[in-house]
Structures are given as C-alpha cells and as structure tokens.
Structure 1
C-alpha cells in the first residue's frame, strides 16, 4: 500500500493549524503541525514531507523567508503560501520563489484541497 502524502502546516495560530489538519486528515493526508518556521526547520527528516503549507506573518522567520530557505535546501518541495494580508508584493515574491499556490485568508476548503492535490502530483 502506498503511504499517504505527508503535509507540513506552519502557522503560529493554533486554530488555523488544527482546522487545516482536520480538513487534510479527512481527505486521507498525513499531517505534521509546526507553530513556527524555526520549529519546522528543526524537523529531523524534511525529505519525508510531500508539501509545505505556510502562513506569511509569523513571529521570527516569516513564511516567505522559510520558502526562500527551502528553495535553496529542498527546491523540489512544493510550497503553498497563505496570508490574511494578500499584498501584491507578497504574491509576487511567493510566485517568484516557486509557490504552487498563494491563498488569501479566508479561503475555502476546495481551494486548499486543489492546491494540495496539485502539489503532491507534481514530479520531483
């Protein structure tokens, strides 16, 4: 049996992390939750992950800074960026760094699931 794709969620808001986790688990995905970019970067086995969903605005490293680090260290990992502050410069930066999706909060479940589905299907 093929293992379920493993999705990392990085957001400082626990309610967002838990809500997204419930949605993705209900669709058969494995999920790991992180309250900060730094906690994610401390993870011992990033190669086991199939996709990263990250918020932009967080204490410490931002989601865009995390994306830039991953682009160097793990360029094939699909990244989905989400934000409550969808400024054009954020979208441009996320897209330029290869984000598979840029979601403005609040977004609907189907939008996120479509993005995750594209992310886990893309070749690496």
Structure 2
C-alpha cells in the first residue's frame, strides 16, 4: 500500500526513518531479511532507485547489511541497534523541545506537561 509522504522532506529520508522506526520498535528484528528493492518499491509506491538509495544509506549507517545473492538484512549488532534507539530518542526530544520553545513554553512548563501526560496515561 503506497505511503503518503511529506512534501517538505526527501522521500528516501522518510523511508529511512520508517525502516529505522520499524527496527527500533521491534517490527523488524536483528537478522530479519528486508523486502527486495522491487518489492519494497511496489509496497511503498516509489521508484526502485529510491529504495536502492535507502538500503545503501542504511548500510552505510550499519543498520542493515547486504549479503551477496541473499538480500539485505537488519544488522545483528545489538549495540548498534541500541545506539540507533538512543539516536532516535534524542532526535524526537530535540524536535519536541524546539517546537515547544517556538510556542513560548518554558523548560518548567514542558516538564510539568510531560509529567502530567505520562501520569494520565499510566506510564
């Protein structure tokens, strides 16, 4: 099923984020085989060249690895996957803080808001 992409960011970056999020959430486990380039291109509704770029970029970041004749797989390096999880967490926190500051909220208001929200969700 094709994905609706944001207009303000390159599609390949959005697909990289999507796959990284799936890996961090555990939807794709260490050692799991990713769909072929053509299959993922059809699934997402993008050009196969875009998917090739996504896989290459993720391989350079050591999040996935290519195995000649077998395909592309999620890395089994759990330290790297933990590092990816921390990187994504930091990116989300930075984005949150930036947006809240732009709205005029103080650090204290952010903390109180987070505490109240997590308490109401039971976390």
- Give TM-score, length-normalised by structure 2: 0.29
Higher strand share goes to which structure? 1
* Larger helix share, 1 or 2: 2
Per the normalisation by structure 1, the TM-score is: 0.29
